[in-house]
Chain A
């Protein structure tokens, strides 16, 4: 298994600002992912965070809006840029140490 922590656990932000979410894993993992869960909805994959290269984004998500860093095998950040109220969601980091996927506790973001 893997122990995943995220910072911050929650935040309230003003429209037009940006927030960077951190994800820390207790072991080195090759595959790390970022998900979004909008209110009342299921999880949606945003992107795959690749160590040493640019992230791979899913359809509907772009790097300018959600820049991702992956400086090493235990850490990644997701930035939500130029926020609007529609970005209010829970953002989740996820890893696959071997062949089972585990999720972090999530960051609850509210944009006013």
Chain B
């Protein structure tokens, strides 16, 4: 699976949009971009994923550049409860034996302040 690079930390004011970048310059054509977050001492929470089109759900939006070498996770109105470590992961989306092997890097510690 392709490696990703994320800033170690970011902060954001409550109510403002949080934009979390991720570089994945070695991504392959069949690899998806997944985002998870981990609130302190809890299990990782799935947020969103995409291949090449921008995606939006009730939690966030995912913007993937045209060359797919980077992406941005957007939390449109950050709240204090969004304070967490956010992980960007790229991997092939299939049902093979590698499916469970999500390799988490260090992620970005997002701190939302009042």
Binding site for B on A (CB under 8 A): 1, 4, 31, 33, 42-43, 45, 48, 56, 90, 92, 94, 96, 99-106, 108
Contact = CB atoms under 8 A, between A and B. Distances in A.
Interface of B: 34, 36, 41-46, 49, 93-95, 97, 99-107
Contacts of B97: 48, 56
A99 B49 CA distance: 11
Specify the main secondary structure of chain A where it touches its partner: strand
Nearest to B89: A101
A101 B43 contact: no
Given A92-B44, A100-B49, 4 more contacts: A4-B43, A33-B100, A99-B95, A100-B34
A43 B89 CA distance: 12
Contacts of B36: 103
A43 B42 contact: no
